[in-house]
């Protein structure tokens, strides 16, 4: 987590811990469209993705739906 001007922002590492996967896996899931892209903020000249708690809950639901659909296809 990082704090910018007194506001807390969760990083990809925080999201990875909450979702139970690696940060690389989260990047891959976003690139493949399995989970939606998170909001972004400006941090100096950098644009940072941040992972608010409501986003992580939504991403977890998307991920569970994706995994369940993969299981159903195997049957």
- Domain ranges, ordered by start, for the chain: 2-74
Q: Which residues are CB-contacts of 21 (< 8 A; sequence separation ≥ 6)?
A: 29
Q: How confident is the model over 27-53, as pLDDT tens digits?
A: 999 999 999 999 998 888 989 899 999
Q: Which residues are CB-contacts of 13 (< 8 A; sequence separation ≥ 6)?
A: 23
Secondary structure of the chain: what % helix, strand, coil (to 5)?
55, 20, 30
Average per-residue pLDDT for the chain: 90
Q: Which region among 3-7, 13-17, 58-62 has the lowest average model confidence (pLDDT)?
A: 3-7
Strands 7-9 and 2-4: antiparallel
Tell me: domain 2-74, CATH 1.10.10.10, correct? no
Which pTM does this prediction carry? 0.79
């Amino acid at each position: 987590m990082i704090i910018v001007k007194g506001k807390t922002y969760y990083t990809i590492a925080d999201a990875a811990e909450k979702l139970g996967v690696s940060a690389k896996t989260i990047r891959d899931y976003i690139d493949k469209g399995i989970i939606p892209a998170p909001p972004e903020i400006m941090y100096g000249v950098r644009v940072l993705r941040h992972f608010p708690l409501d986003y992580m809950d939504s991403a977890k639901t998307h991920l569970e739906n994706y995994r369940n659909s993969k299981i159903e296809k195997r049957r």
